[in-house]
Structure 1
Amino acid sequence: MHRLSLLAALLHPSQLRDALRPHRGGPSTRDALGGALRCGASVALAFLAVAALGRQDLAGYASLGALASLYGRSSGYAWRLRLMAVVGAALATAVAATSALAAAHAPVVAELAVLTLLAAGATAGAVALRTGPPGATILVFAAGAGTAAASDAADVAARALAVAGGAVVACLVCTGGRVVDRGPRAAEPAPRVRDVVRAGTAGGAALAPTASVAVAAALAGSVAAAAGWGHPAWAVMGAAAVLQGAHVRHMGVRALQRAAGTAAGVAIALPLLGADLPFWAVAALVVVLQTATELVVARHYGVAMLTITPMALLMTSLGAPLDPARLALDRALDTAAGAVVGLLVAVVAARPEHAGPVAPATAGTPAVPTTPRPGHSPAAASPAAH
């Protein structure tokens, strides 16, 4: 019976009002600006590095590695470095795994199986390490990028190295302030990773979302593949992102924001994709869009999708020329399918205590888990994920 009540609540007009309402909490303007500039600088330097090596075709992969800068933003330098190193290694591994499948011309079912395992594993890892947003979604995005056609083992290795290099750049940029920073963040000791995992899994709550993510990822990817859409990883990512909500009503808000924001973002991306912009123009746009995303994502997830969508599509276009209209349509349809499937799985799997407050959730409800991570201030957490 509570599932029928949940469905009724998800269809209530107040859900739309909540999806339109900006979040009043989140990080301070100074913290948001600092995080945005560090992320933008990491992506920009990653682009410069691969271009200097004459491998502009790897720019998208290097920029993916640079997105490790999104993790540990409010933590002390020592823990931030450890967390970013773990994330960077995970991103490189995910890209290597899916690129190897692409090089081997593996069937779609094998690709979906690996994407599902990566989505579930990344969710478990993000919860256990208490990373906060963006959680597992960046790893799924990276894995999806790896599914692009690869010629041989050398191509696979080059992609993985580009991702790892981008992560190294992010680590240097995001911890470089330690040299001049004498505040408490610089002096804070780093906990051991295994201790954080133990703390995160205490009480058996940490791995609870993993089964739902696995089911939703498999279903969403299968729907996208069966429909003939070209990027089922985006459907997997959409399902995983929606399931990061604190409770089902909050997930409904996230689904609305992600699907509608992506559709609007596609309209922005289409003329950019069709303009046949030179490499440096695309690189500059990606940096600007990523920086803007970090400035607005904590205030409104749907608005952030207006910059996330064209940024993701431009990054995808760097690897190989693709039909702009098809690419944009795939993004909109895959994302919508992932959001719907993720929400349906959440409703089916929900227990009464997961329904959320009587009044539908606002977009700013904090994502699971709510336990602060080492060196992290709960007030600084962003409610959204890419």
Structure 2
Amino acid sequence: MDLSLPPELEHFRNEVREFFATDYPADLIAKVREGILLNRDDHVRNQQALASRGWLATNWPRDHGGPGWDAARRYVFEEEADRAGIPTIMPMAIIYVAPVIYTFGTDAQKRRWLPDILASRTLWAQGYSEPESGSDLASLSMSAVRDGDDYVLNGSKIWTSYAQWADWIFCLVRTSREKAKQAGISFLCAEMNSPGITIHPIISIDGVHHLNRIDFENVRVPVDQRIGEEGKGWHYATFLLQGERLSYAHVARKREAMKLLHRMARDTPADGWGTLADDPNFAARMAHCDITIDLLDIAVMRALTAGQDVPAAEVSSLKIVATEAAQQIDELFVDLAGTAGLPFPDRTTPGWTATMPLTPRFGPVSMASYLFQRAETIFGGATEVQKNIVWRSLGG
């Protein structure tokens, strides 16, 4: 595959690079570099800054407000965004539910939801996992019983990221009981301020609140907030998960992390060796990550070029490689940090490093990232589920 770029794409790359260097909010990049946890307003400002240039919904077609980019232009943009170190956009609305809305929703639903999503006037949460379902999403049991022009929802969703900030939630719910677990599931959207919805925070081991359990008790949702046909929710969920799994790649971000890791390894003493970079075991692990990123780079470009025609097994393979590579990189940082990774400071405000002047900043940040990345091989479909998809594609 020829990965060289034509002149017009190099011009676009320079345009994007200049935007992040001069017009994008510098304080947001500084917060990311300092390891400060972003709040809701930070995320909204990030997304609105991108939207001001028409660069937020990079996966949307032009007809629905996106830039209508081809795979190469989208790839260049995402590479420069990762290289600049801007915050990751909150994917639940832009990347996950919006394509379902503009592909399967009614015209009224598109008019109602897409403009507010694009302007970041509303944030969304994803209601998929349930307390008793584990990785078997098709076994979900949250019920939605039809009552006139409404559905009445009862049940719980769990591991719901940033539900405490969300205005809406899209849920997979069971509207009927069928022999096949995947049948009888529908795709509903509910306002988070609906009576009967209760959010229970789940605080991570490092004190961070981004996960939640949500209880639904006799929550009434109008039928016109169902996307697509009743009982066809599994089809829409599968469509959504294709885009979600591909979004984990972040090749350029991984490259930048490895550049930093190589520099730090050359400056870190190691028992029996000059530095960690001279330690054959550590050096081999770094080389393995470098090679994996190169292979992932080519595979992602191929998948983006295929668009909706990319085979599900290929997306699953990419999801496995991308998430395991992220974990391996974080493991290297944690090994490099040593005891500096033990503290769990409050990273919600600037200057948090002043509370521990003898601890290098990257230590607590690396450990927090390591702990969070443990979930990457679970959410969006566990690695074991992805391997089953690949296996079935091979005739298993």
* Common fold by TM > 0.5: no
Q: Give the TM-score normalised by the residue count of structure 1.
A: 0.31
Q: Give the TM-score normalised by the residue count of structure 2.
A: 0.31
Higher normalized helix content (fraction of residues): 1
Larger Rg over CA atoms: 2
Q: Which has the higher contact order (CA 8 A, sep 6+)?
A: 1
Higher normalized strand content (fraction of residues): 2
